[in-house]
Amino acid sequence: MYDELSTSTQSAELPNDLISSVQRSLKILELLAQYSDGLNAKQISHLLELNLSTCYHLINTMRVSGYIIKDPDTLLFRLSGKIGYTVHGKASPAQLVKNLTPNVFNLKEATQETAYLSIWDGEEITIAVVAESPLSVRVRALEVGFCEANHATALGKAILAHLTEDQLDSFLSNHRMIEYTLNTITSIDEFKLNLKEMRQQDFYLDKEEYFPDVFCIGAPIFDARGEILASIAIALPGSRYYRFGEELIPKIVHAAKDATRMMSILGYGGHAW
């Protein structure tokens, strides 16, 4: 069926009022969609058989519009997060994970604790990245794909605290507040109060609420509009939390703010430059 449609489209007579620059721009976007790590202008020019000067002009136009970004690390051009917002009204989870994974591993190195990333897709909060530290505590259930117990983890709290009231109510009505330990909050009213109190600071805590003798410190990651995208956190045993917690908290907060800043640069929330 696809081949028939493709052949029919190619053989049909094209309108004579097509704007060539628009066609070329779309081809650049389609090409970059195939190369998630990015391409430089010469590569784009070669692959699409475009004049290099023309290629630069088209790329710069789409950079100003926010659809293409120049990766600050690789200096290659690639699609911005604005593409996902334009097409789906929200960020692409796969691209979000790809962009934030380095931040998680950087946090692991900075703290020497196992670091985690959870993403919010509009309905669920799911662990997407785990950067394990050989020196740290290991909570077996907290693995990639885990989407339970968000009322009992710093990862979950950091996201839930920044949902709208309707979103939060919907989430809590669809997820049981299971008592995992004696410290787990199972009352919706008490949980909302806990979130309200923690919103006054830049970080969120789970003090043995999911697993005995495991403490988590997390912080939220936002897009350019200030809407919640994800959360980043570390897990550590109580002995290290009480000894090093105060000096670790600023590192988690810095990691989250650095990730938020990068999300804005990459066009998440509609802005890119």
What digits encode the pLDDT tens for the residues 145-160?
A: 999 999 999 999 999 9
The structure tokens 């789906």 sit at: 88
**CATH number 3.40.50.1100 given to 88-265:** no
Q: Kindly give the pairing relationship between strand 228-237 and strand 214-222.
A: antiparallel
Euclidean distance between CA atoms 31 and 51, whole angstroms? 16
Per-residue pLDDT band at 92 (split at 50, 70, 90): low
pLDDT value at residue 38: 86
Q: Which CATH number fits domain 2-79: 3.40.640.10, 1.10.10.10, 1.25.10.10, 3.30.930.10?
A: 1.10.10.10
Q: Convert the pLDDT of each residue in 93-127 to its tens digit.
A: 777 888 899 999 999 999 999 999 999 988 899 99
Radius of gyration of the chain (CA): 22
Contacts of 97 (CB under 8 A, 6+ apart): 117, 119, 128, 129
- Residue ranges of the domains in the chain? 2-79, 88-265
Please state the pTM of the whole predicted model.
Answer: 0.72
| pLDDT at 7 (0 to 100) | 40
Are 199 and 244 in contact by the 8 Å Cβ rule? The answer is no
Mean pLDDT of the region 164-175 = 95
Residues 35-88 pLDDT 10s: 878 899 999 999 998 888 889 889 888 887 778 878 777 888 888 766 665 554
The DSSP element (H or E) to which 156 belongs, if any, is helix 154-160
Contact at 8 Å (CB) between 88 and 55?
no
